Amino acid sequence: MTISRFQITVPPGTLAVTLNGEVITGIDLHARPLQRLPAASRDAEKRVAAELAAYFVDAAAPLAWPLQFAGSDYQLRVWRALRAIPAGKVKTYGQLAAEIGGCAQAVGNACRQNPIPIYIPCHRVVARGGIGGFAGKTAGQPIRLKRWLLQHEGVVLTA
């Protein structure tokens, strides 16, 4: 398989996508254009870029591209549960923990280790009293991005 990495610019910023052949293995939400990664050029890259672009125009657009990721048994359970949360809906860390076992902090840790955000929508998990964290941060650009993603999907948080 050929590993490729390319960038796509979407409304909230620049994403770097990593493919192994024709499966997504990673998305970096905090990519900088200065990385000088090529824009999508191969057929698979162009199709992934088109799928992501469609989502960033319409949050109801399906994100169905094949994924490949590895993690602990618990992380895999969390990531499967995240994929079951539909666009426009949220769950708290505690609700997700109650569904799959463990505690809210363990769910947060698994979200922090998520290799393919957007497709594994960890942004749809929030704190009981507000937005919670994103990418291991509780302020700054990651939280602005999480808020943007949730608003894009029609979720309005009051806290």
Which residues form the catalytic set?
122
Closest CA to 48 of 31, 83, 29, 23: 23
3-class DSSP assignment, residue 13: strand
3-class DSSP assignment, residue 152: helix
Measured in degrees and rounded to the nearest 5, phi and psi for residue 33 equal -55, -25
Structure tokens, 15: 């994403």
The identity of residue 123, as a single letter, is H
In this structure, what DSSP letter does residue 118 have?
T
Strands 23-28 and 91-92, by their bridges, are unpaired
Q: Which residue has the tokens 């990673």?
A: 26
Handedness of CA 158, 87, 115, 55 (dihedral sign): negative
